[in-house]
C-alpha cells in the first residue's frame, strides 16, 4: 500500500468496540468495509492484513475472530480455508435452518446424490437448483 493510500486507509476506521478497528467508511451489502484504490474497490480488512501482517496465502480467506465484519484490526484476522471460515461463522451451514437438515424447503432429501455442497460450504438441494434454473431459462 503506498503512502497516500495508507493515509486514506488510516483515516477511515475508529478504535471502538473493545479492540476492534471499526471501518467507518463505505461498506458492501454484507457489511465488509470497502476502499477505492487505483480505480478498483478493495476489501478493507484484506488491505489491512496484507499491509500490517503478510500477503494472504492463495486459496485462503480471512476469518474475523471478533465476528465484526467492519473490523480491520489485523490482530482480529486469521487466514483460513473457506470451509473452516464457514464452519466458524454464523452463516451457511451453521445457520439453524440449514445445520443438519435432512430435507429442503420443498421436502426433497438433502443427502446422497441430491445434496451439493458449494465451495463456500453452503448445502444445496440439486432438485431445487434444477427447478430454479428451468424457471430462470423460461423467463429469458
> What single string gives the DSSP state of each residue in the chain?
--HHHHHHHHTTEEE-STT-EEE-S-B-TTS-BEEEETTEEEEHHHHHHHHHT-PPPTT-EEEETT--TTB--GGGEEEE-HHHHHHHSSSGGGSTTTTT-SB-TT--B-SGGGEEE-TTS-EEEHHHHHHHHHHHHHH-
Detail the DSSP E strand segments found in 81-122. 115-117
Q: What is the pLDDT of residues 10-57, one digit of tens each?
A: 999 998 757 899 999 999 988 899 999 999 999 999 999 999 999 999
- Domain count within the chain: 2
Statement to judge: residues 110 and 83 lie in one domain:
no
**Are residue 50 and residue 112 in the same domain, yes or no?**
no
Q: How many residues does the chain have?
A: 140
What is this structure's pTM?
A: 0.64
Determine the pLDDT at residue 23.
93
Residue pLDDT, tens place only, 55-94:
999 999 999 998 889 999 999 999 999 888 887 776 544 4
The yes-or-no verdict on residue 97 having pLDDT over 50 is no
C-alpha cell at 105: 424447503
pLDDT of 98 > 90? The answer is no
**60 lies in the same domain as 110:** no
Strand partners, 25: none
The domain boundary residue, chosen from 55, 73, 88: 88
Structural domain of residue 111, as residue ranges? Answer: 92-139
CA distance 137 to 83: 31
Do 48 and 80 belong together in one domain? yes
pLDDT exceeds 50 at position 109: yes
- Residue 93, pLDDT score: 47
Amino acid at each position: 500500500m503506498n503512502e497516500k493510500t495508507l493515509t486514506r486507509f488510516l483515516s477511515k476506521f475508529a478504535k471502538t468496540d473493545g479492540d476492534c478497528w471499526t471501518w467507518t467508511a463505505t461498506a458492501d451489502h454484507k457489511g465488509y468495509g470497502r476502499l477505492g484504490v487505483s480505480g478498483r474497490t478493495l476489501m478493507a480488512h484484506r488491505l489491512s492484513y496484507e499491509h500490517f501482517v503478510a500477503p494472504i496465502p492463495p486459496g485462503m480467506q480471512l476469518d474475523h475472530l471478533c465476528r465484526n465484519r467492519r473490523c480491520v484490526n489485523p490482530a482480529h484476522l486469521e487466514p483460513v480455508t473457506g470451509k473452516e471460515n464457514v464452519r466458524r461463522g454464523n452463516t451457511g451451514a451453521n445457520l439453524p435452518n440449514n445445520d443438519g437438515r435432512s430435507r429442503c424447503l420443498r421436502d426433497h432429501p438433502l443427502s446422497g446424490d441430491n445434496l451439493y455442497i458449494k465451495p463456500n460450504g453452503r448445502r444445496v438441494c440439486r432438485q431445487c437448483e434444477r427447478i430454479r434454473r428451468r424457471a430462470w431459462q423460461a423467463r429469458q
